[in-house]
A and B are shown apart, each in its own frame.
Chain A
Amino acid sequence: AAGVIQSPRHLIKEKRETATLKCYPIPRHDTVYWYQQGPGQDPQFLISFYEKMQSDKGSIPDRFSAQQFSDYHSELNMSSLELGDSALYFCASSVGGGGETQYFGPGTRLLVL
């Protein structure tokens, strides 16, 4: 079965650079969630979109922005990167704004030097 696709899988950036992470949800899933998992930590919710509109907002820094496009894929844009942004970034998708089960992608590992 098709799963959530994230690209790139690994990314190395320098401080103050920008990064864009992409997420392609499972076909027919209309809701996308972004989570950040720091080293040795649990995933923390950043932001979500349902039908191309922002549905919930968590602990996403102001330096980050995201959007969901007409084909339901989503992009997380990260600017003025800091060392502390180094983490595993997960995208998850579900069906419907109140979707019960979120299916996670493999994650993008971001390293900021």
Chain B
Amino acid sequence: GAGVSQTPSNKVTEKGKYVELRCDPISGHTALYWYRQSLGQGPEFLIYFQGTGAADDSGLPNDRFFAVRPEGSVSTLKIQRTERGDSAVYLCASSPGTSQGYEQYFGPGTRLTVT
């Protein structure tokens, strides 16, 4: 079946602009995660959804970052007033369960460049 998909694959924006990044999880997966990967480092957790609600947003760096999952499927990560330090690859993952111990599957990522 189809894997996790993310759009756009690349996004270049000017400092101060607003951006939205989209994630389509694997069909039927109830858990959805966002991670961020900076150059030369491993991915770092941002936020986790169980269904429609954000169960853990402890990884969001500040209040410029926000994510939604209104119908429990597609999710959008929103970044306001972008800064050059926001440049990174944003990865989305999904898993079939909402308790611990389920395998996570990652999308190809969105490479965000803030100029």
Q: Do A and B bind each other?
A: no
Which B residues fall within an 8 A CB radius of A?
none
Which A residues fall within an 8 A CB radius of B?
none
